[in-house]
Amino acid sequence: MEEKKNAVIRAAANLRATLGLMFRHPLAKAGLVIVIVFTIMAVFAPLIAPYHHDEIISDSSGRWLSYQRPAAKFWLGTTDMGRGIFSQIVYGARTAFMVGLLAALMVMVIGTVVGLVSGYFGGWIDQIIMRVVDFVYGIPFLPFAMVLVTVLGGSRWNIIIAISVLLWRETCRVVRSQVLSLKERPFVEVARSAGAGNLRIIFVHLAPNIYPISLLYGVFAVGWAILTEAGLSFLGFGDPSSCSWGKMLQEAYLSQALSQGVWWWIFPPGIAIILIVMSTYFISQGIEEVVNPKLRSR
């Protein structure tokens, strides 16, 4: 009991320290800001966006206002069907966050737990898990995501599943190797001699030392997930009923926005994707400084 409390306290302190270190890094700071902006966008989308992302805007005479240039009325102009691009960007932030965060979370959890177990127990358990990991490694990521989305039907949830079903492999590997080195450390011995069970050792003693690295891979996964979603949507495997930046790009692409010089349809989604993914990488830079102190600047 006492011990557990200590462990928890240690973990908490650990976390605080980690965050402190993370956001000392200038890039990490910038990343955090961007993320916050987009979060606000995503959360208050209906309040911010002047129109619904699928709403066709027509003037008094019922004419569809297609290809409107950016102006006071439409901040980022309209699409060929007369939909507000700004509104789509705002709603797209929701998809980006949902996909990015959930996928990353699943990747983190699965990868970390599997890695911990396989690394800690070793032996045949490790063997089996490693074979599974090999199997998962063997499956081409993007094509398989397409197949899975096709099979399950193109919805955001299925895209998330398709992404996280494969992406945990990285995290798992890294966590495992970490555990392999960690479990030789004295404190594990101490804990065991203090009569701690396997599960406790894994989750109370090892996990706190693992999570910065799994956090790092989690953050990478966010970027990956968002880019993958964009790619899938671009290839036409996206969620037809919801709005995502990738889907916007696809529609712009199919109606040749570039050739028509409708730059205001091509650029905003691309830039939005760049910003959000970039910010995750920035933050990951911060985390890396935590994970290997050698990188810290004097």
Partner 1 sequence: MKRFYGVTWVGMLPCLVLVFLMTVCTTVWAEDMPKERLVRTLRFIAYSPGEEKNIAEAHKFIASQVKKLGFQIDFKPTLRSGVLQNMWFTRNFDLGTLWLTGRPTRVDPNMILYKLYHSDQDRPGGYNWAGYHNPEYDRTVDASATAMDQEERKKLIWKCQEIAGRDVPILTLVHQMNLSPYNNKKWSGFVNMVGNGLKNAWSWTQAKPLTDDKTLVVGYHHDVGVLNPLTAHEMNLMVCRVVYDSLVKVGPDGHPKPWLAESWKYLSPTEVEFYLRKGHKFHDGMPVTARDVKFTFDYILTKKTPYHYDACKIIKETKVIDDHTVRVILHHPFAPLLGHTGEQVFILPEHIWKDVPEKTNVDKAWMWVPTAEGKLIGSGFLKFAHWRKGDEVRLEVNKEHFFAPKYEARILKIVPSPEAMLGRLEKGELDIVADYPYDGVALKKLCDAEPNLSLTMEPSVGWYELAFNCRKAPMDDVVVRRAIAAVIPRDVIAKNIWKGFAVPAYSPTHPMLKPWYNPDVIRWEKLGLKGAKEMLAKAGYEWDSEGRIYYPKGKTN
Partner 2 sequence: MNSLRFFGRRLFHSVFVLLGILTFIFFIFRLMPGDPTALFISPEMAADAIQEIRKAFGLDRPLYVQFFLYVSNVCRGNFGISYYFFEPASRIVFEHLWNTLVLTIPAMCLSYLIGLVGGTLLAWKRGTRLELGGMVFALVLRSAPVFWVGLIFLYIFAFKLHIFPGGSITDTGASYGGFIEMVLSWKFFHHLVLPLVSMMCYFMGLPLLLTRSSILEVIKEDYVEMARAKGIGERSVMFRHVTRTAILPVVTAFATAIAYAFEGSVLIEMVFSWPGIGRLMVMSMLGNDYPVAQFSFMILAAMMIFMNLLADSLYGYLDPRVVVQ
Given the rule CB under 8 A, which residues bind partner 1? 54, 64, 66, 80-81, 150, 153-154, 235-238, 240-241, 247, 250-251, 253-256, 258-260
- Cβ proximity to partner 1: between 154 and 286 the closer is 154
């990521």: which residue's tokens? 141
Min dist. Cβ of residue 183 to partner 1 (A): 47
Q: Which residues 6+ apart lie within 8 Å of 148 measured at CB? A: 158, 161, 162, 165
- Cβ proximity to partner 2: between 111 and 223 the closer is 223
Min dist. Cβ of residue 258 to partner 1 (A): 5
Q: Which residues 6+ apart lie within 8 Å of 200 measured at CB? A: 4, 191
Alpha-carbon distance values, 171 to 81, 159, 245, 293 (Å): 42, 19, 27, 20
Min dist. Cβ of residue 134 to partner 2 (A): 5
DSSP state of 50: S
Interaction between residue 148 and partner 2 (CB under 8 A): yes
- Cβ proximity to partner 2: between 193 and 241 the closer is 241
- Cβ proximity to partner 1: between 176 and 247 the closer is 247
For residue 78, the SS3 value is: strand
Instruction: In the chain, count H helices and then E strands.
Output: 12, 0
Which does residue 138 touch among partner 2, partner 1, none (CB within 5 to 8 A, set by kind)? Answer: partner 2
- DSSP letter string over 174-239? HHHHHHHHHTTSHHHHHHHHTT--HHHIIIIIIHHHHHHHHHHHHHHHHHHHHHHHHHHHHTT-S-
Min dist. Cβ of residue 142 to partner 1 (A): 15
Min dist. Cβ of residue 225 to partner 1 (A): 20
Q: Which residues bind partner 2 (CB under 8 A)?
A: 26-27, 131, 134-135, 137-144, 146-148, 150-151, 223, 227, 230-231, 234-235, 246, 249, 253, 258-259, 266, 270, 273-274, 276-278, 280-282, 285, 288, 292, 294-295, 297-298
